[in-house]
């Protein structure tokens, strides 16, 4: 669509240039040199003029041959009354033309000006529409798109993995189909339903499914489309949107990305009543003013409910909040089955196993996964999509694209091999950690020189302190292997150190997992209501002495986990050497091959040992 708009704009630019060229040629033609009538009469007497055209003010003679100055036409500035009588004596054909002065002036000046103004307004309107201004005549109109049942093309059968949310919204569908029957006992449907959840979980798809099931007009608009550069435009569009919806009721108004419009008033602003706040005020007024019994329901979606204005969330506006969360294993399996209808699966493509490998994936991630797997099967010339294609697609999404052209020197490859095997061996030696699915030293993504993939066996919603400490030890296993084998440290553990420190900090400041500091949360919840920097709200929330104790507790957790990782690798030094050499040869070790290499792996000794000296 964008390319076509640029192509059409290019056509208009070429047409404008051609019009300017024609006008210049026209003006050049009109500016022919005038000669005295005596010279014109001399040329006539000498027989150099082949044809004469007479108007009410001029006489033009077409020369038989160009004169010395290269002229082919002679225009006399004065015409005598007896001209026709004189011309007849020479036997030269002539014609009399009457030119209305007003028409000529209109064609030569007014008409080109009108053409230029029309072209200018057309181009300005096209530019305004592309910039979201919509033209001056429609600047206050709503830009919502209206869909009817057959155009949404989405029903509840197309939405999977969010069964609880679908059950909440079935009530809305029943009400829209028969508002009077549903309210016979005095109940009223919620005026507004807010869909809350992480990005990609299917909030917009769920809203379209509600409209498709109810068979009512569906007004879809983004919150950012209300706010414009002109003050009052957003409020006018809100009024126009609700007027359209009332005329077509029963109907659904769906506002996507509500946080762009409904952010808390005063958040991030220091005084002033801006256009966004006026638009929000108008939305609040409209939601209070309509009667839900007519069959008008407002759906909205956001992934940042903590920044919304409290007036939006009170009873009587968005009465009901529906959580659309990331799916569990059963939900992921249902979503994969929906998207797998469009591809041809091989007999070994076990979607249940794929669902187990994709913990934390949202609906959009799973749709992308199926597409990537189909592309992988197409690239290798297969007739169907197999489990290996899904595994390859998961690795591409999680770890990034393989960098086959990035060649590491032998020393770097050896360091990366020991680093990744350090992660894998510590994970295999500690209880309660996720099984290691794959280890590779093929560079992927932006900065990963190797990767270790762990596959969770089940969805987890709670973690104990011991499990978090084991996770930190696994993250530090790569750094421990480098120090144990080479006696030096590299930059390859930068991402591991950042993740380990974040987990340790959360254990102290958010989860209260330190006995000395007590069961106190020193840090507020991550999603803050006001989008204002921490220092603007008064700086650090604890004293300097407490902050020093927090830092010491974090350092103690990380160092203790590092010592545990060193002890495990020192105890299994031969296994580390053998598996690292095999990884250097094969570059990639799958789960089965890895378990065959570490059959004699010894678990963590108890109690945890002291720091291990680096070997030369």
User: Would you name the residues annotated as active-site residues?
Assistant: 420
Q: Report the 10 Å Cβ neighbour count for 152.
A: 22
Least Cα distance to 337 among 350, 347, 322, 321 occurs for: 350
CA 422/CA 579 separation, integer angstroms: 10
Alpha-carbon distance values, 89 to 74, 82, 118, 417 (Å):
20, 12, 52, 112
Least Cα distance to 493 among 465, 452, 432 occurs for: 452
Strands 251-256 and 94-96: unpaired
What's the distance, CA 434 to chain centroid? 32
The answer to whether 569 and 477 are in contact (CB under 8 A) is: yes
CA 544/CA 454 separation, integer angstroms: 39
∠ CA 162-164-165 to the nearest 5 degrees? 70
Least Cα distance to 74 among 84, 65, 86 occurs for: 65
Tokens at 543, concatenated: 């004293």
3-state secondary structure of 142: coil
Write the CB contacts of 370 (distance below 8 Å, at least 6 apart in sequence).
Answer: 336, 339, 340, 342, 343
Q: Is 364 exposed, middle or buried (0-12, 13-18, 19+ CB in 10 A)?
A: middle
∠ CA 599-600-601 to the nearest 5 degrees? 95
**Residue 589, phi then psi, degrees to nearest 5:** -125, 120
CA 127/CA 468 separation, integer angstroms: 55
Write the CB contacts of 612 (distance below 8 Å, at least 6 apart in sequence).
Answer: 484, 563, 566, 567, 569, 570
CA 280/CA 498 separation, integer angstroms: 40
Instruction: Specify the DSSP element, H or E, that contains 150.
Output: helix 149-152
Least Cα distance to 402 among 379, 436, 370 occurs for: 379
CA 436/CA 549 separation, integer angstroms: 35
CA 63/CA 50 separation, integer angstroms: 6
Instruction: Count CA atoms closer than 13 A to 567's CA, side-chain side.
Output: 17
């Amino acid at each position: 669509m964008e390319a076509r708009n640029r192509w059409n704009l290019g056509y208009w630019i070429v047409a404008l240039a051609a019009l300017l060229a024609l006008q210049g040629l026209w003006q050049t033609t009109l500016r022919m040199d005038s000669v005295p009538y005596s010279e014109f009469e001399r040329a006539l007497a000498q027989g150099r003029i082949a044809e004469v055209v007479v108007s009410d003010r001029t006489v033009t003679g077409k020369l038989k041959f160009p004169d010395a100055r290269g002229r082919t036409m002679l225009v006399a500035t004065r015409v005598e009354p007896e001209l026709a009588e004189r011309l007849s004596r020479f036997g030269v054909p002539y014609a009399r033309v009457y030119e209305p002065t007003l028409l000529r002036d209109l064609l030569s000046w007014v008409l080109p000006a009108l053409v230029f103004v029309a072209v200018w307004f057309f181009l300005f309107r096209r530019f305004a529409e592309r910039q979201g201004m919509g033209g001056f005549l429609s600047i206050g109109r709503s830009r919502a798109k209206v869909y009817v049942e057959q155009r949404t093309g989405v029903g509840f059968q197309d939405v999977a993995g969010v069964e609880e949310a679908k059950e909440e919204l079935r009530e809305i569908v029943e009400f829209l189909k028969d508002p009077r029957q549903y309210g016979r006992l005095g109940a009223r449907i919620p005026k507004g339903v807010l869909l809350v959840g992480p990005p990609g979980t299917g909030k917009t798809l769920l809203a379209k499914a509600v409209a498709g099931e109810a068979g009512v007009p569906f007004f879809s608009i983004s919150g950012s489309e209300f706010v414009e550069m002109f003050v009052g435009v957003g409020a006018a569009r809100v009024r126009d949107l609700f007027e359209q919806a009332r005329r077509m009721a029963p109907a659904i108004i769906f506002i996507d990305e509500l946080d762009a419009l409904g952010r808390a008033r005063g958040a991030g602003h220091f005084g002033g009543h801006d256009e966004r706040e006026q638009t929000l005020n108008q939305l609040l007024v409209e939601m209070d003013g309509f009667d839900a019994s007519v069959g008008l329901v407002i759906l909205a979606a956001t992934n940042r409910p903590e920044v919304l204005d409290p007036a939006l969330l009170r009873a009587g506006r968005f009465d009901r909040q529906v959580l659309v969360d990331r799916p569990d294993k059963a939900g992921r399996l249902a979503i994969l089955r929906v998207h797998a209808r469009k591809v041809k699966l091989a007999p070994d493509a076990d979607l249940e196993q794929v669902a187990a490998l994709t913990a934390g994936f949202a609906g959009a991630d799973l749709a992308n996964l199926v597409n990537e797997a189909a592309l992988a099967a197409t690239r290798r010339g297969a007739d169907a999509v197999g489990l290996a294609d899904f595994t390859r697609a998961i690795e591409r999404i999680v770890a990034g694209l393989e960098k086959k052209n990035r060649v590491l020197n032998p020393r770097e490859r050896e360091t990366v091999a020991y680093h990744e095997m350090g992660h894998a061996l510590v994970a295999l030696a500690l209880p309660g950690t996720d099984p290691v699915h794959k280890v590779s030293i093929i560079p992927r993504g932006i900065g990963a020189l190797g990767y270790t993939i762990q596959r969770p066996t089940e969805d987890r919603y709670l973690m104990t302190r011991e499990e978090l400490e084991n996770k930190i030890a696994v993250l530090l296993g790569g750094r421990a292997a480098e120090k144990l084998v080479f006696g030096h440290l590299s930059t390859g553990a930068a991402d591991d150190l950042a993740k380990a420190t974040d987990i340790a900090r959360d254990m102290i400041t958010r989860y209260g997992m330190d006995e000395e500091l007590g069961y106190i949360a020193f840090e507020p919840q991550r999603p803050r209501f006001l989008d204002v920097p921490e220092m603007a709200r008064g700086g650090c929330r604890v004293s300097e002495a407490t902050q020093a104790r927090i830092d010491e507790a974090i350092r103690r957790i990380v160092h203790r986990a590092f010592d545990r990782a060193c002890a495990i690798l020192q105890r299994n030094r031969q296994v580390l050497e053998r598996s690292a050499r095999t990884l250097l040869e094969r570059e990639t070790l799958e789960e089965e091959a890895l378990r065959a290499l570490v059959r004699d792996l010894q678990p963590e000794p108890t109690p945890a040992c002291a720091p291990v000296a680096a070997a030369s």
